[in-house]
Amino acid sequence: MFDHLFQLLAPHFVFLFPSVRQAVDANVTIMNIPDIDRIDQHTWQFFASVGSQSASEQQQILVTSLRERVLDNISSVAKGWIVDEETRRLRLANVNLFLRSLGLDSSQISL
């Protein structure tokens, strides 16, 4: 059952983020969506749950599918584009929740 659900969702992983759907609907860049980290928090939690239950091949698909989202979030914090401390903390916490379910951490990713 899990494998079947994974196969159905995999092509659409990035669109499970509410911010991505809002950006597409409004025809704006994702960084123009207000409160992006709060509205995407449950999706990161979902992906952490999926990642922790996935086989290694499925984890590779997850990482490949979400690579740009992960790198964008980490780089926006690392480059100082996020001024608010709470927003930076939440952004990294969301990404790390997902990465740690795969045995990784944002501190291991060099930009």
**Per-domain residue ranges of the chain:** 2-105
Could you give the CA distance from residue 106 to residue 99 in angstroms, rounded to a whole number?
7
pLDDT of amino acid 14: 97
pLDDT of amino acid 111: 72
Could you give the CA distance from residue 17 to residue 15 in angstroms, rounded to a whole number?
5
- What number of CA atoms fall less than 13 Å from residue 6's CA on the CB side? 19
pLDDT of amino acid 31: 83
Q: What are phi and psi of 17, to 5 degrees?
A: -75, 125
Global pTM reads 0.93
Counting as low any pLDDT under 70, the low residues of the chain are: none
Contact 40, 92 (CB under 8 A): no
Residue 79's CB: how many other CB atoms inside 10 A? 9
pLDDT of amino acid 32: 86
